[in-house]
Amino acid sequence: MLPQHMKKAITDNPKKLANLIDLINLPSTLREFVGQSQISRLGCFMRVWSYIKTNNLQDPKNKNLVNCDEKLRSILLGKHQVELAELPSLIKLHFPKEPK
Amino acid sequence: MGKVPPSLRSAIATTLMKKQSSSLIPKESTTTTPPHNPQHFPRKPTTRKTKSHDSPQTQTQIQTLFKSPNLSDAKKLFNSIISTNPKFPLDLRFHNSLLQSYSSISTVQDSISLLNHMIKSHPSFSPDRSTFHILLSQSCKAPDPSLSSVHQTLNLMLNHGFAPDKVTADIAIRSLCSAGRVDQAVELVKEFSSKHSVPDTYTYNFIIKHLCKARSLSLIDDFIEEMRDNFDLKPDLVTYTILIDNVCNMKNLREATRLVKVLKKEGFKPDCFVYNTIMKGYCMLSNGSEAIGVYNEMKEEGVEPDLVTYNTLIFGLSKSGRVKEAKKILRVMTEKGHFPDTVTYTSLMNGLCREGDALGALALLEEMEVRGCSPNSCTYSTLLHGLCKARLLEKAKELYGVMKAGDMKLETAAYATFVRALCREGRIAEAYEVFDYAVESKSLTDVAAYSTLESTLKWVKKAKEQGNII
């Protein structure tokens, strides 16, 4: 069985779900990358991940690392290299926080 | 994994359905299946007698003939068909097909108008019960807060000399229920019972099954009581089985036991289906002992266990950690001439995995194939989950490769466990790849797949910070 922290599916928590899938009016930083004026956090993640794959930005020696090109750098805090593991949290920075 | 494997679930559903004859849907005429049960009311006698001289091609041509719901266009189209060289024989089936085609895209009112137009312009056409059934089905399926258009169709039918019979009732009730209009279906049943005739047991059981899905127990009880007191329509063994299955799914085995007492009092003897349903109820609660109790009672009462019984029992025992006994049942099963199938093996694998013997479970995969059973996505997911839990990540990866090659879907628990196992080992890129597969194969929704990935990564990060990567 799933451990306790995974049992509470995100879909059961409407606030968390909304935070993930609601469309947000984008700050200018993201607008250029995404090419749309609105996107959800989930949609943004999918876009960024897809961009990474299409442009072969994963480091050939260590696929857990991403070598950012200029466009990616513009939305990932200017970093030249990020860890795949950090990707969700980096993207989350662009989005409004969950209301407590 | 606490779920009933999908194949077992459907096994129980289909055994219930087998007891009720195949459902009646007024599709294109000649394909009605002959009834198995001798008591079954004959359906659509006229249309079944007409031999099919239309090629299937013309049938499909008729089905998509009407493109626009506009009534005057439809009338014009009809006129042009019968006046130009007809490649279709202008019989009842032809008119029915046209009406069917038009009614699927228009309103009830317009369909009735088209029918009247057909009658007026082609006097040799005389609508039959089946024609009205087409209209009836449409009026039941369309969303409508009241029964007014249904009543309208029924009155039209009456005016043409066809009183609603059990077939009419069956079509109406099934269509209403499938459109989610259960309360109206109940209302209509009561109307039919008082004005025309009581619905037959198949209709009755169908509506009770839908009530179980959509309404409370007390409402169902009231309905049963009302039908019994006012119309002398009583639950039969199938009805009781449906009710028992319903309460078992609500984990209320006490109520299930009470229902068995009731059905015995009413003069029925529990059959294999009833026992299987109760056994399944106990298995879902991981109560292996009670499940065995049911098995023993069956044998005492002279009811021969069938494949579903054995599969249920093996599933339940495996789930409760009693794999040795499950294997014993497997032996009994084969001795009695029942062949273990995919469900049997998957259940055993589940049990072995729970005991930590993931390799033993994997070995069963080979045995399955030798016996000619094809593993399904549940089988693979069970194994994947078990291998991950047993920390056999390389084997898990191998199995995942087989799954991908076979286009197998990942079940939620297996996906989550696999992603976690990979992340725990720092194999983040591989975890992302599994995420991609889960999304692409539609094993999970985007939201579910992503949320699991995100929360797992968070968990790994936290564990690292706290200095414990387990």
Does the pLDDT of residue B52 top 50, yes or no? Answer: no
Q: Which residues of A touch B448 (CB under 8 A)?
A: 9-11
Q: Which residues of B touch A9 (CB under 8 A)?
A: 448, 451
The residue to which tokens 């029964």 are assigned: B147
Question: Quick one: pLDDT band at residue B313, thresholds 50, 70, 90?
Answer: very high
Percent of residues, chain B, with pLDDT higher than 90: 60
Does the pLDDT of residue B5 top 80, yes or no? Answer: no
Q: Which residues of A touch B423 (CB under 8 A)?
A: 85
CATH of the domain at A89: 1.10.245.10
CATH class of B377-469: mainly alpha
Cβ contact, residue pair A2, B416, below 8 Å: yes
Q: Radius of gyration of chain A from Cα atoms?
A: 15
H helical segments located in B160-271: 166-178, 182-195, 201-214, 217-231, 237-249, 253-265
**Is the Cβ–Cβ distance between A57 and A68 less than 8 Å?**
yes
Q: Which residues of B touch A45 (CB under 8 A)?
A: 450
Q: Which residues have a Cβ under 8 Å from the Cβ of B286 and sit 6 or more positions away? A: B2, B316, B319, B320
Q: What is the arithmetic mean of pLDDT over B340-344? A: 94
> What pLDDT, in 10s, does the model give residues B97-140?
888 888 888 888 888 888 888 888 887 788 888 889 998 998 89
pLDDT at B91: 79
Nearest CA in chain A to B418: A2
Residue A60 domain-assigned (yes or no): yes
Residue A7 domain-assigned (yes or no): no
**Largest Cα–Cα distance in chain B?**
89
Higher pLDDT, B418 or A6: B418
DSSP secondary structure string, B398-412?
HHHHHHHHTTPPPPH
Cβ contact, residue pair B447, A10, below 8 Å: yes
Residue A30 domain-assigned (yes or no): yes
Task: Give residue A73's domain range.
Answer: 20-94
The number of C-beta contacts closer than 8 angstroms across A and B is 54
Does the pLDDT of residue B325 top 90, yes or no? Answer: yes
> What pLDDT, in 10s, does the model give residues B158-202?
998 888 889 999 999 999 999 989 999 999 999 999 988 889 999
User: % helix / strand / coil in chain A, to the nearest 5?
Assistant: 50, 10, 40
Does the pLDDT of residue B19 top 60, yes or no? Answer: no
Nearest CA in chain B to A58: B429
Residue A10 domain-assigned (yes or no): no
Residue A5 domain-assigned (yes or no): no
**For residue B123, with 0-12 CB atoms within 10 Å meaning exposed, 13-18 middle and 19 or more buried, which class applies?**
exposed
**Largest Cα–Cα distance in chain A?**
43
Residue A98, chain B, CB below 8 Å: the answer is no
- Confidence (pTM): 0.73
H helical segments located in B31-91: 45-49, 56-63, 71-83
So where are chain B's domains?
377-469
How many domains, chain A? 1
Q: What is the arithmetic mean of pLDDT over B302-322? A: 94
The SS3 call for residue A39 is strand
pLDDT at B282: 95
Residue A11 domain-assigned (yes or no): no
> What pLDDT, in 10s, does the model give residues B347-387?
999 999 999 999 999 999 999 989 899 999 999 999 999 99
> In whole angstroms, what is the distance from residue A47 CA to residue A33 CA?
9
> What pLDDT, in 10s, does the model give residues B246-262?
999 999 999 999 999 99
Regions of chain A short of the pLDDT cut 70: 1-12, 99-100
Residue of A11, A58, A84 with shortest CB distance to B447? A11
Helix (H) or strand (E) run with residue B348 in it = helix B342-354
Q: How far is CA B304 from CA A92, B17, B296, in A?
A: 60, 20, 11
Q: How far is CA B435 from CA A51, A79, B412, B445, in A?
A: 16, 25, 11, 11
Residue A29 domain-assigned (yes or no): yes
Cβ contact, residue pair B447, A21, below 8 Å: yes
Residue A57, chain B, CB below 8 Å: the answer is no
Bridge partners (DSSP) of residue A81 are: A67
For chain B, give the mean pLDDT: 85
Cβ contact, residue pair B448, A88, below 8 Å: no
ipTM, 2 dp: 0.88
